[in-house]
Amino acid sequence: MLAVSRALIIMGALTVGPARAQDLDQDKSGAKLFATTCTDCHRSPRGLAKDRFSLTLSYFLRRHYTASPASAHALTAYLQSVDASRVKPQPAARTSQPPGTSGSVPPLRPPAPVPVR
């Protein structure tokens, strides 16, 4: 009888699949992930993705803050979109030109030296 119960326990343990963790971040947008994960330490998403490659940022977030690669990618995309939306184009540098010249005419240059004989 004891051998039969042991056999049943072993067979039951082998037939049960591995336990799967529940992904609490599944189907959440990047903004919602930021609101639930990051607002304890960061007031705003601005500047968090500044000068970071998306691959390294996503890897960092996956290792430390998110439950899956998909949620890390979503959060990375959100952080980068926030930083991209606040980048303003820099005005073109103004070059001062002598009066009476336009930008399409090449600037004047000094004459070439005269060869000595």
- pLDDT by 10-residue block (mean), the chain, 117 residues: 74 64 73 85 85 87 87 89 71 59 71 82
Q: Is residue 68 part of a domain?
A: yes
Task: Find the DSSP H helices in 38-110.
Answer: 54-64, 69-86
CA distances from 51 to 4, 9, 46, 47, 79 (A): 64, 56, 12, 9, 11
Residue type (1 letter), 48: L
Per-residue model confidence (pLDDT) at position 90: 61
pTM: 0.53
CB atoms within 10 A of CB 80: 20
Domain count, the chain: 1
Instruction: Note down the domain range covering 79.
Output: 25-86
Residue 10, domain member (yes or no): no
